Amino acid sequence: MQERVSRHLAMVALLIDDDPELAHQHALSASRRAGRIPVARETLAITAYRTGDFALALRELRTYRRLSGLEGHVALMVDSERGLGRPEKALETGLAIDTTKLDTEQRVHLAIAMSGARLDLGQTQQALFELEIPELNPRKAFSWSPELFGAYAAVLEDLGRTAEAAEWVAHSDRAAAALQEHLGGLDELEVFEIHESEPFEEDTFKAEADESEQDPEPAQDPEPTEDPEPTEAPEPANLEDAIGAEVDELLAEAGITDDEPDSPASTTPEPGSESGEQA
């Protein structure tokens, strides 16, 4: 079963941008077979969000938070509440989070989501304040900069400050172009030749042979040499293998083996239970 779950999660990573619906089906299959694994619930939450099933996304995000203890997807939780038509609950969800436990990108996405909730309530000026964070710096471009600058421009437009809005649209475009130029330079394929073992040093063996001939003492059997240290296993050849290897490790830690029967995530028996021991 580990291999099947790994392949489902790998397919999600490959399909999420081009075919979210199909990716969601793979995420559902993975979650049914590995409901106790946080990454399976996290993946299902993300695909549900991408396909507009906000109720399922919110449920799975809460489950993921309970299993992992992490708050990194709070912005998705806020947006899911908005998608369900509950902007007040969205603000409550965002305000309950200790933002010091979030990284920079997570804080930025939370600010954008909170600003959107303010707009849903007609609180346009407060929506602008939500976005006025230290990361709102047009002189620097990060992965989240175009989205942040664009959101700020949209709120300025709603406030009737069209000239300023146009400036921030330009900032967003420049940041996106700079990022594209930077990432485009990383597209070149580098090929490295890997030698699994060192070649024999003929000159060294020859020198040792000459030295033994000059030694008046009788030759002794050479001491056994230690086996060379094993070389590290090569990195997975593709994205699917990489994700599969990581998921296999998580499944093994959770005690899920290939002999465990398929069952829905909500009714997956705990290891050692009577139902889990049946063939």
Q: Using one digit for the tens of pLDDT, what is the confidence trace for 175-189?
A: 999 988 877 654 444
Confidence at residue 2, expressed as pLDDT on a 0 to 100 scale? 77
Residue 133 has pLDDT above 90, yes or no: yes
Residue 76 lies in a domain: no
Q: Compute the distance between CA of residue 224 and CA of residue 85 in angstroms, rounded to an integer.
A: 75
- Please report, for the domain that includes residue 48, its CATH number: 1.25.40
Residue of higher predicted confidence among 13 and 221: 13
CA distance 255 to 270: 9
Of all helices (H) and strands (E), which one includes residue 116? helix 104-120
The mean-pLDDT minimum among 1-10, 40-49, 119-128, 260-269 falls in 260-269
Predicted pLDDT of residue 103: 94
**Residue 199 predicted with pLDDT over 90:** no
Alpha carbon distance 116, 79 (integer Å): 8
pLDDT at 195: 44
- pTM for the structure as a whole: 0.66
Q: What percent of the chain has pLDDT over 70?
A: 66
48, part of any domain: yes
pLDDT classification of 264: cutoffs 50, 70, 90? very low
Tell me whether residue 216 is in a domain.
no
The residues near 163 (Cβ < 8 Å, ≥ 6 apart) are none
**pLDDT band at residue 6, thresholds of 50, 70 and 90?**
confident
pLDDT at 202 over 90: no
What is the pLDDT at residue 219? 46
For 142-154, the pLDDT digits (tens) are 999 999 999 999 9
Chain centre to alpha carbon of residue 90: 24
d(CA 111, CA 235): 37
| pLDDT value of residue 238 | 58
pLDDT of 212 strictly over 50: no
Residue 270 has pLDDT above 60, yes or no: no
- Residue 151 token pair: 């959101």
Distance CA 128, CA 136 (A): 11
Q: What single DSSP character describes residue 85?
A: T
* Residue of 268 and 142 predicted with greater confidence: 142
Distance of CA 165 to the CA centre of its chain: 33
User: Is 122 a member of any domain?
Assistant: no
Tens digits of per-residue pLDDT, 230-261? 444 444 445 566 666 666 776 666 565 554 44
Residue 4, pLDDT score: 87
Sign of CA dihedral 132, 134, 135, 136: positive
**264 domain residue, yes or no:** no
Higher pLDDT, 113 or 200: 113
In a domain, 145, yes or no: no
Q: Decide if pLDDT at 83 tops 90.
A: yes
Task: Name the H helices within 121-186.
Answer: 124-131, 145-158, 162-184
Q: How many structural domains comprise the chain?
A: 1
Enclosing domain of residue 6: 1-69
Q: What is the per-residue pLDDT for 192? A: 41
Mean pLDDT of the chain: 78
Asked whether residue 12 is domain-assigned, the answer is: yes
Angle of the 20-33 helix axis to the 2-15 helix axis, nearest 10? 160
Position 77 in a domain: no
Number of H helices, E strands in the chain: 12, 0
